[in-house]
Amino acid sequence: MESLVKQFGTLFATGVTGACCLGLPIILGALGSVGLGFLINDLILLPLFYGLLAWNLWVLYRRNQVHARRAPFWLAVVGAVLAGVTLWTPLSIVVFVGLILILAGSIWDFTLTRKGRPESAC
């Protein structure tokens, strides 16, 4: 359960960072209202975004060793590449499509992990 919290926590943080990079007003306003307005700077956000993408993939890769099926990991890799590359284009919706693909890979991995456990471990 701890690895699941870590996996979805990094995914949430990546989504918030991506929203900041894209300049979504609700995220920018929320950061400014809690005193974290200094984070709204590309020198901070871009390395944070790419670092969190890499961390998402690393956590997913480690969790895939439980059930030895790599398809969810590769779906997340496609999503991470899509989100990372299209961050620099005016098509901001594609970044969120990439993040949704990472989320789908994480959920797929979670269901495969739950199916692989014996009944007494659930």
In whole angstroms, what is the distance from residue 84 CA to residue 46 CA? 10
Q: What pLDDT score does 1 carry?
A: 61
Q: Are 82 and 97 in contact (CB under 8 A)?
A: yes
pLDDT one-digit tens code per residue, 19-53:
777 777 777 788 788 877 777 777 777 888 888 88
Q: Are 22 and 95 in contact (CB under 8 A)?
A: yes
- Mean pLDDT (whole number) for 96-104: 88
In whole angstroms, what is the distance from residue 21 CA to residue 53 CA? 13
Banded model confidence at residue 119, pLDDT cuts 50, 70, 90: very low
Percent of the chain with pLDDT over 90: 10
Q: Identify which has the larger pLDDT, 20 or 105.
A: 105
Which domain range does residue 105 map to? 2-121
pTM tops 0.85: no
The token pair that represents 9 in the structure block: 């926590």
Q: Identify which has the larger pLDDT, 113 or 80.
A: 80
Q: What pLDDT score does 121 carry?
A: 45
Q: Please give the tally of structural domains in the chain.
A: 1
